[in-house]
Chains A and B, each alone.
Chain A
Amino acid sequence: MDSILFYLFALVMIAFGFGVVMNRNPVTSAMCLVGCFLGVAALFIMLDAFFIGVVQIAVYAGAVIVLFVFILMLLDIAGEKRREFPIHAIAIGLIVAVIVGGQIAMVAGSLDDVGGKFPPIDKAAAVEARVERGNNPDSTINTILTDPKKPSYPDVHIIGEALFTRYPLHLQIVAVLLTVGAVGVVVLSKKRLE
Chain B
Amino acid sequence: MTLEHYLIAAGILFCTGLFGMIVRRNILVIFMCLELILASATLTLVAFSRFRLTSGLPDIDAQMLVFFVITVAAAEVAVGLAIIVSLYRSTQSVHMEDLHTLKG
- Closest chain-B Cβ to A72's Cβ sits at a distance in Å of 6
The interface residues of chain B, by DSSP majority, are classed as helix
- B25–A83 contact, CB under 8 A? yes
- Sorting the interface of chain A by its residue count into under 10, 10 to 19, 20 to 34 or 35 or more gives 35 or more
- B77–A93 contact, CB under 8 A? no
Chain B residues at the A interface, C-beta cutoff of 8 Å = 1-9, 11-20, 22-26, 28-29, 31-33, 35-36, 39, 42-43, 46-47, 49-51, 53, 55-58, 60-61, 63-64, 66-68, 70-79, 81-86, 88, 93-95
- B64–A181 contact, CB under 8 A? no
Q: Name the 5 nearest CB pairs between A and B, nearest first.
A: A129-B55, A122-B56, A125-B56, A21-B20, A93-B22
Q: Mark A89-130, 1 if CB is under 8 A from B, else 0.
A: 110111011101100110011010111111101111110111
Q: What would 18 more interface pairs be, CB under 8 Å, given A20-B36, A121-B58?
A: A3-B1, A20-B16, A26-B32, A44-B46, A49-B46, A49-B63, A52-B66, A64-B74, A67-B77, A67-B78, A71-B85, A93-B19, A115-B4, A118-B3, A159-B63, A170-B64, A178-B71, A185-B78
Q: A30-B32, A117-B1, A181-B75 are in contact. Are A104 and B11 (CB under 8 A)?
A: yes
- Closest chain-B Cβ to A20's Cβ sits at a distance in Å of 5
Across-interface contacts of A33 in B (CB, < 8 A): 32, 35-36
